[in-house]
């Protein structure tokens, strides 16, 4: 090979390596936690999915610097590198719940609330249906007290259900009336009086009602008696 050919080969090789270096920076390999998480979410075997998500959780924790969790307990969501870890814990909790490891699901969810007291990823909506299924009504009440503001839909609709389950007729009626006064669309969507509509054609209150109803039905829908009571209260309210 001539000197000129050798120089051309080196030039081509150098540019070839530079090209692939730029390509790898533009399309970096997925983080290990993402790979395990994606595999877990499509796995057909429940226990296999759980094990894969545990690996995802372990890998996501590696993104967090030493002592960060301890130093940011209760406000870990504010640390951007810790967010994948929190999200993986939620996904693990949902897999535990899906595969009927309810106590393990509760533990994951409660751990997240210790890490993120502001509940940025709405763990309360995962815990409430479980607590209702377990008849842990005091825990439900505590959640509504801790993670709601006065007259919020979360507080009003869940306290209505809480007092109904506790056979407190006066307070259950009081809170369901306040719920209906605040946003009647929640009940209409829960009772399928209204169905999902084109988002461009509905009001802001209707949109909130439609979205919130999907969360509430997970709790209310566990009790046929509660749903029947809600229907009766709705029609009584409408006819007054």
DSSP string, 168-199: -HHHHHHHHHHHHHH-HHHHHHHTTSS----G
- pLDDT of 26 reads 44
Average pLDDT value for the chain: 88
- pLDDT of 24 reads 43
Distance CA 144, CA 95 (A): 24
Segment 85-108, tens digit of pLDDT: 999 999 999 999 999 999 999 999
More confidently predicted of 203 and 19: 203
pTM for the predicted model, two decimal places: 0.78
Residue 195 has pLDDT above 50, yes or no: yes
Distance CA 209, CA 232 (A): 19
- pLDDT of 170 reads 97
User: What is the fold, at CATH topology level, of the domain defined by 26-121?
Assistant: 1.25.40
Residue 2 has pLDDT above 70, yes or no: no
Give start-end residues of each CATH 1.25.40 domain in the chain. 26-121
Structure tokens at 28: 């970096």
- pLDDT of 149 reads 74
What average pLDDT does range 163-179 have in this prediction? Answer: 96
What average pLDDT does range 159-165 have in this prediction? Answer: 94
């Amino acid at each position: 090979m001539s000197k000129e050919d050798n120089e051309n080969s080196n030039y081509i090789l150098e540019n070839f390596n530079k090209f692939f270096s730029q390509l790898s920076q533009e399309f970096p390999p997925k983080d290990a936690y993402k790979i395990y998480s994606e595999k877990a979410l499509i796995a057909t075997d429940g226990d296999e999915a759980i094990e894969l998500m545990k690996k995802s959780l372990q890998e996501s924790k590696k993104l967090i610097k030493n002592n960060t969790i301890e130093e940011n307990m209760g406000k870990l969501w504010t640390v951007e590198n810790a967010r994948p870890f929190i999200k993986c814990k939620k996904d693990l909790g949902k897999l535990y719940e899906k595969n009927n490891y309810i106590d393990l699901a509760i533990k994951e969810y409660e751990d997240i609330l210790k890490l993120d007291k502001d509940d940025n990823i709405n763990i309360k909506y995962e815990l409430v249906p479980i607590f209702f299924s377990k008849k842990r009504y005091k825990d439900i009440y505590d959640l509504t007290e801790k993670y709601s503001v006065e007259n919020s839909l979360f507080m009003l609709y869940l306290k209505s259900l809480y007092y109904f389950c506790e056979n407190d007729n006066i307070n259950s009626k009081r809170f369901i009336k306040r719920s209906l006064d605040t946003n009647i669309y929640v009940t209409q969507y829960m009772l399928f009086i209204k169905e999902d509509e084109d988002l461009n054609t509905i009001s802001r209150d209707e949109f909130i009602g439609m979205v919130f109803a999907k969360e509430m039905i997970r709790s209310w829908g566990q009790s046929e008696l509660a749903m029947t009571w809600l229907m009766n209260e709705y029609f009584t309210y409408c006819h007054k």
